[in-house]
Amino acid sequence: MKQRISVRAIIRQDDKILLLRRATGRQTILGLYEVPGGKIAYKEQPEDALRRYLHDDGGIHIQTSQLFDAVTYIDHDDRDIQYAVIVYLVGLAEGHHGVELSQNYDKYEWTKSSNIQHEHVTDLTQLILGIIEQEKITDETIQTISHNDVSEATYERVIIYSDGGSRGNPGPSAAGYVILSGRDEVVDKGGEYLGITTNNQAEYHGVRLGLEKAHELGYRQIDFRIDSMLVVNQMNGIYKIKNRELWPIHERIRALMLQFDKVTFSHVKREFNQLADGMVNRTLDAHKDRERSAE
């Protein structure tokens, strides 16, 4: 079976999602609505492809993009092709909320996902919208659980920001994490000096530290926010791990994940990962200070 990678964008505005209606393409998708995106070109990065499709097909300018999920999809018109679909949450640039359609589309709509008729959208968009609804249902379920009789930590879904860094690559390295509750309160944070490693190894150890602490505290559902696109894509199974030095820590993390109900990985820009980055630098500075004191 052939495998291809594509990107799709979930663009929200006032609780509504942007859908475009196909004017070209296969007969089975003509006249149907879909979330914007398409196949990634050879050697093209996912976020570059995302920006290309949104600009070319909708005249849309991106302010922010965050990895939401990754799913696999079998093409119904050619069952020998399996797509790995990378789904992003996209924020529009200020002052650029208008949509200018290319010849590939003849109409667009902003609509609530609950109002969308499935027979009016493509199969892939049905799959993506199903993921959105599942996330919404999961969040609502967690919020309605009574905390009077059970431990809050047992059921609450938490966000973990993790990071890792090497001063030298390879060089003295450290990893750090910060766990936030659903109310954006810091539950726990920490760092660990790793010795001489690479940046990528340190990034993975940040994930390990966060999982170990979350398991110790009793949390069951984890959403990681990481500024390393490499780590996010490898943990989501989009990129293969070619560096053998990463295999042991990757397998350790996979084993830890089995102890949770759900673990997801999302990409954030570095400026949104300052808490975990701060833990890394403080850990490295503290180790350096100890070395100086021992001299």
- Domains contained in the chain, CATH given: 2-125 (3.90.79.10), 152-294 (3.30.420.10)
**Could you give the CA distance from residue 186 to residue 175 in angstroms, rounded to a whole number?**
17
Residue 71 or 267, more confident? 267
**Could you give the CA distance from residue 66 to residue 88 in angstroms, rounded to a whole number?**
5
What is the arithmetic mean of pLDDT over 163-171? 94
Of all residues in the chain, what percent carry a pLDDT higher than 70?
88
Residue 271 or 32, more confident? 32
Q: What per-residue confidence (pLDDT) applies to 119?
A: 79
8 - beta bridge partners?
37, 87
At residue 59, what is the residue type? G
Q: What per-residue confidence (pLDDT) applies to 143?
A: 35
Residue 133 CB contacts under 8 Å (≥ 6 apart), including other chains: 113, 114
What is the arithmetic mean of pLDDT over 58-84? 79
**Could you give the CA distance from residue 149 to residue 146 in angstroms, rounded to a whole number?**
7
Cis link prior to 170 (omega < 30° from 0)? yes
Residue 40 or 143, more confident? 40
**Burial grade of 54 (CB within 10 A; 0-12, 13-18, 19 or more):** buried
Cβ-contact 131, 8 below 8 angstroms: no
- Share the mean pLDDT of the chain: 84
Q: What per-residue confidence (pLDDT) applies to 96?
A: 64
Question: Does the pLDDT of residue 273 top 80, yes or no?
Answer: yes
Instruction: pLDDT band for 15, please (50, 70, 90 cuts).
Output: confident
Please, what is the Cα angle at 17 between 273 and 136, to 5 degrees? 65
Is pTM beyond 0.75? Reply is no
Which element (helix H / strand E) includes 124? helix 123-144
Question: Does the pLDDT of residue 152 top 50, yes or no?
Answer: no
What is the arithmetic mean of pLDDT over 114-120? 80
Structure-token pair, residue 283: 């850990």
pLDDT digits (tens, 9 = 90+) for 200-257: 999 999 999 999 999 999 999 999 999 998 998 899 888 888 888 999 999 999 999 9
